[in-house]
Amino acid sequence: MSHAPPITIDPVAARRWAARVPARSPWLHEEVARRMAGRLEAIRLPVRRWADWEPARGGLAGHDLVAAHYPDAQAFWVCEQAGSAPPATANAGQPWWRRWGRARAPAPAVVAAPPEGAMQLVWANMLAHQSADPAALLAGWRRALAVGGFVMFSCLGPDSLRELRALYAQEGWPPPAQEFADMHDWGDQLLAAGFADPVMDMELLTLTYSTPARLLADLRELGRNQHPGRHGALRTPAWRARLEQALHDRLRPSDGGPLRLTFEILYGHALKAAPRDAAAAPAQTAVPLQELRRQLRQRKLGSAS
């Protein structure tokens, strides 16, 4: 039985967040991109064209790592929201390892959607958990891929922010973030979207913070609370002070060390398989109703003689 990821994202909030142009790629996203790029060594499929879905938010340093792995491939920046493309510079599309060489790789083409069926790789780092319509997102990845191409993606899993969720529940507050699907749900979604051979795995990262204010600043860089049941209005300075005190009291270990917050990182990849061969499908024969009746009459006459 197929499972769909729980959708607990306000679509309006998701669109508003996607339209924001980040001043820089979040540190955690760059770190996850570095770890995911290391997995490319195990994949021997050739890549001539590849698409990076929302690279400014996913990680521009991570983009350079993929470009270094496929130095002769044409890159595409997929920026679905107007204004979400990374700022253009004289060196746009020129990773540091190519800027000193003789040949200049073509700058990434910034598109709302890449050419259909033209990509050998879709790279989507730390994006899927922010989508209010994951089925549409996966369908877009599949449309972009050529047969035999593959998607590599990462996102937050359900154990992310577990300390913060427990704190909010104890205080009687609404959830601090949307629910995140687990890797089995994403595997089912990949199959439902028409991908083949999905492989999912995960790891837990514990980030540490010296102060509650630093923790909250990091969370604001990573995203926003898009849960439909979130607080319906802006919080007061008094509420912020209460939150910081609760973070100090409950997220700091007994030995007095830094505050700790868990992030579950999911990694996935899957192939776009060739469509089924029509010749291999069971043959179907259409028989007119009158002909069927004639055959039945002949059978009855034959059995009576």
pTM of the predicted structure, to 2 decimals = 0.82
Average pLDDT over residues 96-112: 64
Please say if the pLDDT value at position 4 is more than 60.
no
Q: What is the pLDDT of residue 119?
A: 98
Structure tokens at 206: 């514990």
Triad 32, 35, 38: Cα angle to 5°: 150
Please state whether beta strands 145-156 and 259-272 pair in parallel, antiparallel, or not at all (unpaired): antiparallel
Which residues lie closer than 8 Å to 291 by C-beta, 6 or more apart?
none
Mean pLDDT, rounded, of the chain: 85
Residue 101's alpha-carbon distances to 3, 48, 69, 95, in angstroms, are 49, 20, 16, 11
Can you tell me whether residue 179 is helix, strand or coil? coil
> Pick the residue with more confidence: 152 or 223?
152
Which residues, 6 or more positions from 101, have their beta carbon under 8 angstroms from its beta carbon? none
pLDDT digits (tens, 9 = 90+) for 34-81: 999 999 999 999 999 999 999 999 999 999 999 999 999 999 999 976
Which is higher by pLDDT, 293 or 280? 293
**What's the rounded Cα separation, in Å, for the pair 258 and 146?**
47
Query: What is the Cα–Cα distance from 289 to 294, expressed in whole angstroms?
Result: 9
Fold of 11-304: Rossmann fold (3.40.50)
Q: Is 6 or 128 the better-scoring residue by pLDDT?
A: 128
